[in-house]
Amino acid sequence: MKALQDIKLYCGIFGLAALLSSCSSAVFPDITEDEEDTIVSQDEEDSSFIGRKSKKIELSMPEEGESLKSDTQNVAYDKEKQDIPFAAKTKPVKKEELKESKAEAEKALSENANKKAEKAKKIEIPQKPIVAAADFTPAEEENTIPSVSYRLDTFYFANGSSVLDSQYNKQIRNIVKLAKSKKNAIVTVKGFASSRTRNTDPVSHKLANFKVSAARAQSVADALKRYGLSANKIQTEALSDSMPAYQEVMPEGERLNRRVEVYIAY
């Protein structure tokens, strides 16, 4: 086994030596430089054709005032164009022509101004007559829109009754006093009813509640008149049971809905 390994080792060394000797004796060809490649124009008429291995052309930058290389026709055109002075390129304008154009422009402007003036005359803007402060009458002052409105008081009534209890006399006097102290004051009296009536049909039920609510509002309005408030400052409304303030599950809720509310606006 060892002898076989020695034989392999010797064979490897011998092969390596033979390879090195063959490389040392190999002959490589000499490298020679080709002729210098240059880019030249092979045909003067066709500048796009590029040739190789011809005479070397020296490139140089154009001098100041000269253009880049182009064909003969364009060079002649550029030279001819450069020779023409700037004054010859533009058409001179005479003073008479300037005056005429200016006169025409002024005439057009004046015509437009005249047309606009004629249109303005045709359009008539209606103007409201100016009324002096002395022309207002007290009746017109009373019809002005109030800026303040709120509820003054609430009065309650017995079941089915429209008679105002005497316990509210003091409150009535206070309402009259306040309404007289405010300029252009309007007192609104709104009558209400509870939703319960005797066993009647729906139409009779609604009619009964409406009548009692109107009677209650009128009762409070009459009391205001008795204490000195002018009738033209009082307004009454009958709203029946359309706006209940409380639920009528218990008798107390029904009692509180039988009411009159008084509002003031000035």
Return the minimum-mean-pLDDT range out of 42-46, 120-124, 153-157, 210-214: 42-46
Cβ 42 vs Cβ 51: under 8 Å: yes
186 band by pLDDT with thresholds 50, 70 and 90: very high
249 band by pLDDT with thresholds 50, 70 and 90: confident
DSSP code for 30: P
- Give residue 179's pLDDT: 95
Grouping H, G, I as helix, E, B as strand and the rest as coil, residue 129 is: coil
Q: What are the tokens at 108?
A: 């057009």
pLDDT of 53 > 50? The answer is: no
CA distance 77 to 98: 35
- Give residue 113's pLDDT: 75
Q: What are the tokens at 13?
A: 């060394």
Higher pLDDT, 12 or 186: 186
CA distance 220 to 227: 11
Of the candidates 51, 53, 52, 50, the residue with the CA atom closest to the CA atom of residue 35: 53
Query: 2: number of CA atoms within 13 Å, CB side?
Result: 0
pLDDT, tens digit, for every residue of 129-147? Answer: 554 444 444 444 445 676 8
* Mean pLDDT value across the chain: 74
Distances in Å between the alpha carbon of 69 and those of 24, 46, 72, 74, 78?
57, 13, 9, 10, 12
102 band by pLDDT with thresholds 50, 70 and 90: confident
pLDDT of 155 > 90? The answer is: yes
